[in-house]
């Protein structure tokens, strides 16, 4: 099997590349623009494998995308290339519109023209999987979960751009017969995640003795999905998912943001004792605009129809994640020296204002 993966040097993308090449022995073409969030060190474990190839290209380039399909002749596409950080979308929405919407359109057109020229036998098995987010659904109240039928209600430029791309994916199936599938996942975490995101940022700040800033009062709830569980789901959906449909992927691991940070502090106290509790560095800062209160994924369809289930609980997954960052300094130190030093994003020219410190008695 030959799979074209877009964004394969990013966090989830590199995980699916390592999984497909290393465990499933699938031939992979990694199409990546190599933006700030890309890191070729994340695919280093398989980079010399004969089943792996890299194409540095922008999905917004129609000539390069058409050539990628023609040259590689994929049996399937897993489309992950996207701008993904909500905070960055607040102050730099143009890149999100360009990559997430225009880029998806360009890729769909390249896939459509390629698909139309395949033999009938290959058209029967070709699939285009678009990887999206639960953020397209907006915010939940205290009860309920997102299902595949939940109406879209995006709150940020990021989630709006992903919602638009989801609609393009469905339209290209309905209008042109392109065999597309959409997956909508909850918050991913795990090894190799770019440290602008909550969990790696808190681990590295705790390691450096820096403040651990929590938005608002820390009560926002997310459903956390370990990245290795997610990539197993993606390959399953690509192979066995129903064309024209959607599959929600979630870990059934709801946690408040404050609870996540406190759990990281507990693990850092165990694995990297500092003579005091790392919780002393937790502080609340002004919330970001449009911050959704709660996400929760109902993954019943994926579980019942395709037989998938998450292997990691939040406790097992977060422990593996903390240990990985402690054991892999070379990977994240190069990021911190180069493209991102841990500063707060999405302030739109405003200075960060601490609201309160969380005082904890320490040993």
Among all chains, which residue has been given the structure tokens 């997430």?
100
CB count, 10 Å around CB of 172? 23
Residue 208: CB atoms within 10 Å = 11
Question: Which active-site residues does the annotation give?
Answer: 134-135, 158
Instruction: Specify the pTM.
Output: 0.93
> What pLDDT is attached to residue 288?
86
b/e string for 74-109 if b means 16 or more Cβ within 10 A?
A: bbbbbbbbbbbbbbbbbeebeebbebbbbbbbbbbb
Helix, strand or coil for residue 46? helix
Domain spans in the chain, listed from the N-terminal domain onward: 2-194+224-251+294-312
Of 262, 186, 266, whose CA–CA distance to 224 is shortest? 186
Per-residue tokens: 238: 């690509």
**CA gap 220, 165 in Å, rounded:** 26
pLDDT tens track, the chain, 363 positions: 999 999 999 999 999 999 999 999 999 999 999 999 999 999 999 999 999 999 999 999 999 999 999 999 999 999 999 999 898 999 999 999 999 999 999 999 999 999 999 999 999 999 999 999 999 999 999 999 999 999 999 999 999 999 999 999 999 999 999 999 999 999 999 999 999 899 999 999 999 999 999 999 999 999 999 999 999 999 999 999 999 999 999 999 999 999 999 999 999 999 999 889 999 999 999 998 989 999 999 999 999 999 999 999 999 999 999 999 999 999 999 888 877 767 766 555 554 555 555 544 433
CATH fold, domain 2-194+224-251+294-312, is Rossmann fold (3.40.50)
Of 32, 255, 30, 289, the closest CA to residue 159 belongs to 289
């Amino acid at each position: 099997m030959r799979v074209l993966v877009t964004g394969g040097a990013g966090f989830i993308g590199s995980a699916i590349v390592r999984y497909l090449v290393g465990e499933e022995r699938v031939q992979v073409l990694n199409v990546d623009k190599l933006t700030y969030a890309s890191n070729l060190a994340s695919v280093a474990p398989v980079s010399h494998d004969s089943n792996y190839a890299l194409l540095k290209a922008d999905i917004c380039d129609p000539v390069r995308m058409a050539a990628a399909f023609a040259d590689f002749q994929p049996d399937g596409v897993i489309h992950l290339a996207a701008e993904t950080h909500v905070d960055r979308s607040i102050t730099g929405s143009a890149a999100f519109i360009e990559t997430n919407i225009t880029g998806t359109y360009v890729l769909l057109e390249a896939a459509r023209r390629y698909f139309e020229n395949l033999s009938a036998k290959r058209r029967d098995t070709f699939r285009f999987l678009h990887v999206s987010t639960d953020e397209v659904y907006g915010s939940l109240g205290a009860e309920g979960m997102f299902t595949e039928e939940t109406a879209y209600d995006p709150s940020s430029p990021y989630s709006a751009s992903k919602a638009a791309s989801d609609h393009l994916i469905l339209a290209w199936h309905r209008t042109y017969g392109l065999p597309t599938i959409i997956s909508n996942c909850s918050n991913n975490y795990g090894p190799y995640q770019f440290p602008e995101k909550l969990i790696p940022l808190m681990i590295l700040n705790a390691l450096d003795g820096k403040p651990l800033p929590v938005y608002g009062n820390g009560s926002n709830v997310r459903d956390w999905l370990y990245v290795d569980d997610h990539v197993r789901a993606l390959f399953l959906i690509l192979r066995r998912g129903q064309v024209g449909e959607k599959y929600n992927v979630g870990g059934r691991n709801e946690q408040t943001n404050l609870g996540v940070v406190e759990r990281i502090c507990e693990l850092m106290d165990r694995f990297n004792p500092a003579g005091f509790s790392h919780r002393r560095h937790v502080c609340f800062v002004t919330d970001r605009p449009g911050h959704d209160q709660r996400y929760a994924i109902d993954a019943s369809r994926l579980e019942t129809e395709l037989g998938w289930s998450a292997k990691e609980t939040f406790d097992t997954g977060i422990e593996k994640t903390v240990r990985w960052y402690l054991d892999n300094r070379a990977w994240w130190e190069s990021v911190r020296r180069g493209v991102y030093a841990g500063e707060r994003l999405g302030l739109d020219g405003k200075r960060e204002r601490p609201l309160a410190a969380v005082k904890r008695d320490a040993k």
